[in-house]
Amino acid sequence: MRTALLQSSGRPGSIAENLKVLDAAAARAAAAGAGLLAAPEMFLTGYAIGDDIARLAEPADGESADAVAEIAGRYGIAVAYGYPERDGATVYNSAQLVSADGTRLANYRKTHLFGCFERDHFTPGEQPVVQAELNGMTVGLMICYDVEFPENVRAHALAGTDLLVVPTAQMHPFQFVAESMIPVRAFENQMYVAYVNRVGQEGEFEFVGLSTLAGPDGVARARAGRAEELVLADTDPVALAASREANPYLKDRRPGLYRSLV
């Protein structure tokens, strides 16, 4: 499955403008043969928007979700995107996956909040593994800081995730996560990892770009630079199965020794 990573911060504070950016990216990605378009963390609204997070937050099945579903259906491409989710009085930092026919497949709430900014505006989610079947692959969702916890990604590996999609708002000076950690996560867990970042200055944060799709051999299939960009790479279930057969990490685990971790 060809996967497109939309490296962009969109237009912070404007859902309407961000939907236009997503629409244009979906058109380009679909024309290039992509079956999935992934957008960054909090893409629909912007990340560093302060109290506007609560004002712009919507339910998982709200108007903006319907608009994304329409985009997916128009171009025949699945879409994963980040947004602030409202559930009653509670706001989550969430990511949703929509199929190519506009069906909502999965919704994930960020489980590990980063820093005071996120803890001031969001409630952490409680479900670590959220998956859906897409084009013959098991796709999992995670958000930014979550992927920096090896236990999180290993849980996905044990649950059979083939492609882990990680909408991200990775900021300076932590670019080593995209450069080094993401390929290692893909290798040690024998999966593809699509890490799609915001870019440029936004409020107090400088987002570093470097969106990456890494394979189970630890090699980056695609890597963006530091500007707005749409990058594409292929995920191959046959190559993944062969890699899993050759790599012994998951087979050689001794879970009885790891009980102290929990």
Q: Write out the catalytic residue numbers.
A: 41, 110, 144
At residue 227, the 3 state secondary structure works out as coil
Residue 47: which of 79, 81, 92, 12 has the closest Cα?
12
Q: What are the phi and psi torsion angles at 96 (to 5°)?
A: -125, 145
What residues contact 172, with CB distance under 8 A and at least 6 apart? 206, 207, 208
8 Å CB contact between 242 and 212: no
Show the tokens assigned to 131. 């998956």
Show the tokens assigned to 38. 């992934």
Q: ∠ at Cα 28 (23, 32), nearest 5°?
A: 145
As a three-state string, the secondary structure of 43-110 is CCCCCCCCCHHHHHCECCCCHHHHHHHHHHHHHCCEEEEEEEEEECCEEEEEEEEECCCCCEEEEEEC
Q: ∠ at Cα 144 (27, 165), nearest 5°?
A: 45
